Amino acid sequence: MLPCVFLVLALLLQPSCLLYTHMMMRAAAAEVSRAVLTTRNGEDLSACKGYALRRLASVPNIPLFHVGGNSDWHIEVSREDDGRSVAVAISGHARLLPLSSALALTVMEQDDIGIILRAEVDQQLRPAWLEGNYESWIEIWK
């Protein structure tokens, strides 16, 4: 009975680690999208990407969760010209346990580093009825 219990625990360990990583990636992408909205048009978004890396530091650099450290996170940020919509995509890699790799390879993308994890957020953060832009909001308080 004990080997069966350990087998079930081992099969549940990998999905729970990947779920945690995906939740942290999605939360970081959502927070970065809100931060991008407060930047001025044409402003460099590297500070927002740095913010995403700080948020992603909560994912352990253990192969079950994430492989490659900060250099493996790929963060893409785009903002529509109207200043209302923001899209953030974060991708990284993890390695599977030998037991679950055979099952997951049929469902998940993989490359030479490991399986590819992706989280994307595409939000319209400012409603259409809200007039003005960030620069005009700042002028009110000067």
Residue 139 within a domain: no
Is the CA virtual torsion 20, 25, 30, 32 positive or negative? positive
- The residue range of the domain holding 113 is 2-126
| Strands in 6-134 per DSSP E | 74-79, 85-94, 115-124
Among the listed residues 66, 92, 81, 68, the one whose alpha carbon sits nearest the alpha carbon of residue 133: 81
Residue 134 within a domain: no
Place of tokens 């450290």: 69
CB atoms within 10 A of CB 30: 17
Residue 136 within a domain: no
Residue 142 within a domain: no
The model carries a pTM of 0.80
CB atoms within 10 A of CB 130: 10
pLDDT over threshold 90, residue 2: no
Residue 77 within a domain: yes
> 104: helix, coil or strand?
helix
| Counted domains in the chain | 1
pLDDT over threshold 70, residue 18: yes
pLDDT one-digit tens code per residue, 62-110: 888 999 888 899 999 988 766 678 899 999 999 887 766 666 666 778 8
The span from the CA of 26 to the CA of 31, in Å, is 9
Residue 131 within a domain: no
Residue 93 within a domain: yes
